[in-house]
Amino acid sequence: MPLETVSAVTAETPAAPSSRTEARERAARNRRLTVYAARAAVLVAFLGLWEVCARTEVIDPFNFSQPSRIWDQIWQWITHGTAQGSLGEQIGYTLYEALSGWVIGVVGGVLLGIALGRIRFLADVFGPYIKVLNAIPRIVLAPIFLIWFGLGPASKVASAVVLVFFPVFFNAFQGAREVDRNLVANARILGADNRRVTLQVVIPAATTWIFTSLHVSFGFALIGAIVGEYIGATKGLGLLVAAAQGTFNSAGVYAAMTILAVVALLTEGLLTFAEKKLFRWKPADSGDGR
């Protein structure tokens, strides 16, 4: 009898964990599906409620529009173009302005941030001025840029640059300041000169800080471009919003907003992808902590 029990146990042990891991996997898969389903349900419920309320005139469809009209508007823009030209062209303009402003702002912010973070003298001299500039609500500069640079893309790029520069600058500055002293000491002992310490220790160590600001700052670049266009432009999504508002077309305002949101999400996704590629050296769990 004892022999039998022993053989039964040995026969079962290898099978038991695999069936248990399977069950666990299945549970995890089910949970994921439930989450996705619940998300979709929330969206459907929200849009459905909005549509129903608008149709039954519980809310005024003239002010609040309704999902079906917004969709019609988007579809019309896609198929027939907008009053300002094709929809793709408007998106292209806005993206071009936001991206150029973002790139200029990021490059300037990173270079200056690291320079001031590394060179104490510069930080002491320029510190107060940068604080003063940062205290100005920068969105009010958009009308000034419009006067300086005209209705074209240049004025929008400028407003995007001033919005992007500061958060990137402060993060790069902080990152350069807070580099682990041991790493710098180690690099110097190993034979690195100042230039190498900056390029091969300070900049890689500061990239984590810089990247956190890149996410936020791309949103700022879009805001800069849109506000600039809204105030005065010949092309762009911000102009679509302004034009729709001018003709009391609330569906147009919402449609432009929807398109903006999609554009912002897509670029955000691209950034996250780039970040994953760049930060292979980081432990995986710290990435999930956000």
Q: Which residue, 196 or 215, has its beta carbon nearer to another protein?
A: 196
Shortest separation between residue 200's beta carbon and another protein, angstroms: 8
Exposure string of 190-210, with b = 16+ CB inside 10 Å and e = fewer, is: eebeeeebbeebbbebbbebb
Shortest separation between residue 67's beta carbon and another protein, angstroms: 47
Distances (CA, A) of 236 to 61, 62, 183, 205, 260: 26, 24, 47, 38, 11
Q: Which residue, 8 or 199, has its beta carbon nearer to another protein?
A: 199
Cβ-Cβ contacts under 8 Å for 216 (sequence gap 6 or more): 167
Smallest CA-to-CA distance from 176 within 97, 253, 111 is with 111
With contact defined as beta carbons under 8 Å apart, do 207 and 281 qualify? Answer: no
Smallest CA-to-CA distance from 170 within 229, 234, 216 is with 216
DSSP 81: -
Q: Which residue, 280 or 290, has its beta carbon nearer to another protein?
A: 280
Residues that bind another protein (CB under 8 A): 180, 182-183, 185-193, 196, 200-201, 204-205, 207, 280-283
With contact defined as beta carbons under 8 Å apart, do 259 and 237 qualify? Answer: yes
Shortest separation between residue 201's beta carbon and another protein, angstroms: 7
Shortest separation between residue 114's beta carbon and another protein, angstroms: 16
Shortest separation between residue 183's beta carbon and another protein, angstroms: 6
Alpha-carbon distance 74 to 82, whole Å? 10
Which pair of tokens denotes residue 97?
């302005």
- Residue 62's identity, in one-letter code, is F
Shortest separation between residue 191's beta carbon and another protein, angstroms: 4
Shortest separation between residue 188's beta carbon and another protein, angstroms: 6
Paired with 82 in beta bridges are: 85
Q: Which residue, 29 or 282, has its beta carbon nearer to another protein?
A: 282
Q: Which residue, 11 or 284, has its beta carbon nearer to another protein?
A: 284
Shortest separation between residue 65's beta carbon and another protein, angstroms: 50
Q: Which residue, 152 or 204, has its beta carbon nearer to another protein?
A: 204
Q: Which residue, 47 or 192, has its beta carbon nearer to another protein?
A: 192
With contact defined as beta carbons under 8 Å apart, do 113 and 170 qualify? Answer: yes
What is the CA 237 to chain-centroid distance, rounded? 18
Alpha-carbon distance 224 to 213, whole Å? 16
Paired with 85 in beta bridges are: 82
Q: Which residue, 91 or 183, has its beta carbon nearer to another protein?
A: 183
